[in-house]
Amino acid sequence: MTTIKLHNTKTRRKEVFTPLNPDDVRMYVCGPTVYDRAHLGNARPVIVFDVLYRLLRHVYGADHVTYVRNFTDVDDKINAKAAETGRTIGGITEETIRWYLDDMGALGALEPDHMPRATEFIPQMVTMIEDLIASGHAYAAEGHVLFAVDSYTRYGALSGRTVEDMIAGARVEVAPYKRNPMDFVLWKPSSDDLPGWDSPWGRGRPGWHIECSAMAHELLGASFDIHGGGIDLQFPHHENEIAQSCCANGTDKMANVWMHNEMLLVEGKKMSKSLGNFFTVRDLLDQGVPGEVIRYVFLMTHYRKPMDWTAEKAAQAEATLRKWYALAAQAQDGSVPSQTAVDALADDLNTHGFLSECHQLALAGDAATLRATLQLVGVLETNVPAWAAAPVVDLSAHSYRLAAARETAMQTNDFAQVDRLKSALIAAGVEVRMSKSGVELVPGPEFDPSALEGLE
């Protein structure tokens, strides 16, 4: 059997993965808060843990792996969106969940075995909170229930911080009902205009962290194999999950292995609306970037390294996939994945090494093994899609012509020719990107090459 090694955030080292029960391998990954479209950064943990899910199924068997990813459908951001738009909370969450599943499906992600919604597990959360109060790990105050951080001596082990450091470096809510500034909310009161459920502490709603602990316990048990998410969740979310789960369930561990993917950049910078480089997965798909291309770009970078999304990488990915589809079309069925590639993937999801082996298979012309290998990570799973079969559009002549016209216009201050060329390109369905570094022309989904015939 293939030996899997995973980097455990909690121990800060790569370890041989040994499931608690090889016949029942269990993984929980924190999912989205459903109030808006998923941006590109939200897609990284989906693809990372989808690849891990596929690897676990390959090694242990599809019937022996359980993958849980939740939906947070009760949250102040959702409440604010409802107040802002006048829509119902249920309408917003249902629509957003559908968007999310459609968009992640377009990236080739398998749906997890369970996709629980927080609102479906309120009774389990209440029971867990009651147990924490009874054992002295939580307390009620002014309609709130808070976890007493100083009651759990191992608090901070995941992030490697002391409580003092956390207080100094974190934005903690200072409230009169808190015994300790680091104590966090398990339950809070709801006004009549907000979602709420009856509880021993009055009508209210759960805090953010308790939902994952309750759902993971209900679906995977008191302890399970892998807990994953983005590095931004390591503290405080995952730190708090561990504390409340171990105290409520009487265990030393919530999960044996903790895994965190690094953040995403766009063209070398943090994605930000103020920088104009913020976009959703749907934005890219609507611009004509195939979901499989987006997935491949993610696979080019190891999950524990920051990933930089660039137009150049997307173009490179599309060119590679076009070649591989053409080669795979010649493949006979019945092949198995390259063990060299599987071993690379089993080494802490070394997707870069995995793709390197795929390039070697392509160079050797081994179409059958290439296709079987790529299918292991959710690539080349279908017949040649339309985008890969379509001829590559060469717009270089138009790009040179527009660049030359702009250069002349800068000297003569007459931009009529630039405007004419640009308007014709846009009318033909071409996105025109002009910057100091040059001119880039990108065919859009409605591109009509015949509209450019005779353009001089």
Distance (Å, rounded) from C-alpha 176 to C-alpha 154? 25
| The two structure tokens encoding residue 108 | 């080739």
- 375 with 245, same domain: the answer is no
- 252 with 310, same domain: the answer is no
Assess whether pLDDT exceeds 70 at residue 172: no
* pLDDT tens digits, 342-399: 999 999 999 999 999 999 999 999 999 999 999 999 999 888 898 888 766 778 888 8
> Both ends of the chain: CA-CA distance in Å?
63
Distance (Å, rounded) from C-alpha 451 to C-alpha 444? 13
- 237 with 365, same domain: the answer is no
Assess whether pLDDT exceeds 60 at residue 307: yes
User: Would you call the peptide bond into 123 cis, given omega within 30 degrees of 0 as the criterion?
Assistant: no
Distance (Å, rounded) from C-alpha 59 to C-alpha 349? 13
End position of a domain, from candidates 235, 261, 287: 261
- 245 with 270, same domain: the answer is no
pTM for the whole structure: 0.86
- 256 with 304, same domain: the answer is no
Distance (Å, rounded) from C-alpha 445 to C-alpha 290? 10
Kindly report the backbone phi and psi dihedral angles of residue 71, in degrees, each rounded to the nearest multiple of 5, phi listed first: -115, 125
Assess whether pLDDT exceeds 90 at residue 1: no
State which H helix or E strand residue 43 sits in: helix 40-60
* Residue 383: domain span: 264-389
* pLDDT tens digits, 438-450: 888 877 656 777 7
* pLDDT tens digits, 11-21: 999 999 999 99
Distance (Å, rounded) from C-alpha 106 to C-alpha 113? 18
Assess whether pLDDT exceeds 80 at residue 324: yes
Query: Is residue 225 within 8 Å of 255, Cβ to Cβ?
Result: yes
- 279 with 408, same domain: the answer is no
- 269 with 257, same domain: the answer is no
> At 75, which CATH number?
3.40.50.620
- 275 with 221, same domain: the answer is no
Query: Is residue 82 within 8 Å of 261, Cβ to Cβ?
Result: no
- 247 with 297, same domain: the answer is no
User: Which one, of 10, 127, 56, lies nearest residue 345 by Cα?
Assistant: 56
Q: What was the pLDDT predicted at 358?
A: 97
How many domains are contained in the chain? 3
Q: What was the pLDDT predicted at 60?
A: 98
* pLDDT tens digits, 229-272: 999 999 999 999 999 999 999 999 999 999 999 999 998 988 88
Query: Residues near 55 by Cβ (< 8 Å), separated by ≥ 6?
Result: 4, 342, 345, 346, 349, 376
Burial class (CB in 10 A: 0-12, 13-18, 19+), 410: exposed
Assess whether pLDDT exceeds 70 at residue 171: no
Can you give the length of the chain in residues?
A: 456
- 163 with 306, same domain: the answer is no
* pLDDT tens digits, 137-156: 999 999 999 999 999 999 99
Q: What was the pLDDT predicted at 187?
A: 98
* pLDDT tens digits, 25-60: 999 999 999 999 999 999 999 999 999 999 999 999
End position of a domain, from candidates 261, 293, 314: 261
Q: What was the pLDDT predicted at 447?
A: 75
Q: What was the pLDDT predicted at 166?
A: 65
- 146 with 111, same domain: the answer is yes
- 373 with 432, same domain: the answer is no
